[in-house]
A and B are shown apart, each in its own frame.
Chain A
Amino acid sequence: MPKDGLEENNEVKLDGQGKPLWLCLELTYRCPLQCPWCNNPLDFDTYKDELSTDDWVRVLREGREMGALQVGFTGGEPMMRKDIVEITAEASKLGYYTNLVTGGVGLTKDKLEALKEAGLNQIQLSIQSCDPVMTNKLVGAEAHDDKIQTAHDIKDLGFPLSLNVPVCRESIDQTREILDMCEEVKADYLEYVQIQYYNWALLNRDELLPSRDQVIYAEELINEARERLGKKMTIYFVVPDYHDKFPKACMNGWGAIHLTIAPDGTAMPCQEARIIKEIDFPSVRDHDLSWIWHESPAFSLYRGDDWMKEPCRSCDNKEQDVGGCRCQAYMLTGDATNTDPVCYKSPHHHIIEEAIEAADRVGRNPRPYVMRRVQSASDLRQSSAGE
């Protein structure tokens, strides 16, 4: 403490200082649900060769040695891994803050108790609607009642309850009722999350993207709830990037603080990066994390801003938003070094405007969702082989 008393500001800025602070471990792509916004690869069913328990433990150890503080276990459905409790226990012993990202199916009270014992810190449970019929339709399985039960169990065991509700066109008009439901199960955190339009979500974008009016109305209700609930329930809600003027600083920048490992050991700066076909991502099967983070060409590719083109290069905003998302730029413009088309300055911004106009059009003809199923995955392979 400085001799002359106390400083005003008690937080120190935590940039990564070159450390991967966040580890996101996609333990498996297996999942009993079939969400049409799933961000798993379109060929998720071909990743059969998952890392072993020992591999994951080694990754966790190497991550901690490099200063990682948070770990998220995700998927697919991480509860499909038989060793989830064991992996959690190792992570916790190593000093991570451990987060489990789950759809709730398979997360029985026994399992929850075991995870608690293992030192799990928090659970992020996804739930899609307050209405069982709607939830079950959206996830393609009878999952609603299980999810609600799991929410209660999570609270009973003294975990913080974070509910993760994806905002989509079909359910967003239930915002008021969804907020009531979250209050009823005594959620501590509610993330009203925007769908990121990659992979399955991109296939279904026209059906999922809410209209501008829908977003505005939902935002009003959320602000009302924030006011009313205060700290009782912390609500995170950001306007979907499609509806925003500036893009989001994707993962705080490429290879800045975030490291994702896919079920097969592929290491990436974010969960979507495999979309960029030209990049050869390293695997934890062949390299240690330190090499991957510090030395691999893939991780340094879009670090900093040397790679930027105009209009980002000369833009005042580039440190705040790092030019948006490389994957989105690649996916929508074919070149990952382009400005994220969400930005109003992007020469490709019309792509986003067209998508929003399509969502706002009255009397549009809805199409059924392409659900994230093995059958859809193989249909997609067939149709692309036939092209």
Chain B
Amino acid sequence: MAEAPQVDETPQIDPADQFEVHPFYVFRWEESQEAHVLLYPEGVVKLNDTAAEILKLCDGDRSVTQIIDELKNVYDVSDPDTASRIEAGVYKFLEDSHAKGWTRRK
């Protein structure tokens, strides 16, 4: 088949990449779990606050850099260590969540 592949498999994340929640997934707050959840065909994932914070910013519009900047605005990053931890954490999360199929590149 000469068709271009539907899904990109490149694990490398570029600062300019834009991610969105995969359209097969429903991402929302669930009161009974007091947490954000991801619902998908035959499955449920309960997210911790960190994951939910990042996923909320995955709107297909914001770039990875923008997501990191926004999170740095929310948290006290006077300590440069925290700033770099946030950056590393966002990359790690985007990698994992993309590998799991929760998100896709715009």
A residues sitting closer than 8 Å to B (CB atoms) are 1-14, 19, 21, 66-67, 69-70, 95, 97, 99, 121-122, 124, 158, 160, 162, 186, 188-189, 230-232, 234
Contacts and interface: CB of A to CB of B under 8 A. Distances in A.
A19 B97 CA distance: 26
* Residue from A67, A69, A186 with most neighbouring chain B CB atoms (10 Å): A69
Contact of A69 (B44, B48, B53, B96): B44
A334 B54 CA distance: 52
Interface of B: 5-7, 9, 23-24, 26, 28, 30, 32-33, 35, 37, 39-51, 53, 71, 74-76, 82, 85-86, 88-90, 92-93, 96-97, 101
A99 B26 CA distance: 13
A1 B74 contact: yes
A186 B3 CA distance: 12
B26 A1 contact: no
A67 B9 CA distance: 36
Nearest to A66: B32
A69 B24 contact: no
Nearest to B30: A69
B11 to A, nearest CB: 11
A14 B41 contact: no
Question: Secondary structure at chain A's binding surface: helix, strand, loop or mixed?
Answer: loop
Given A5-B89, A122-B24, A230 B41 contact: no
A141 B85 CA distance: 60
A10 B93 contact: yes
B92 A6 contact: yes
Contact of A6 (B5, B39, B74, B90): B90
Contacts of A124: 41-42
Interface centre among A11, A13, A95 (most CB of B within 10 A): A11
B39 A69 contact: yes
B24 A21 contact: no
Contacts of A230: 7, 9
Nearest to A96: B39
Contact of A70 (B24, B44, B46, B97): B44
Contacts of A232: 5-7
B85 A6 contact: yes
Contacts of B71: 1
Contact of B53 (A1, A13, A231): A1
Given A1-B74, A5-B86, A21 B44 contact: yes
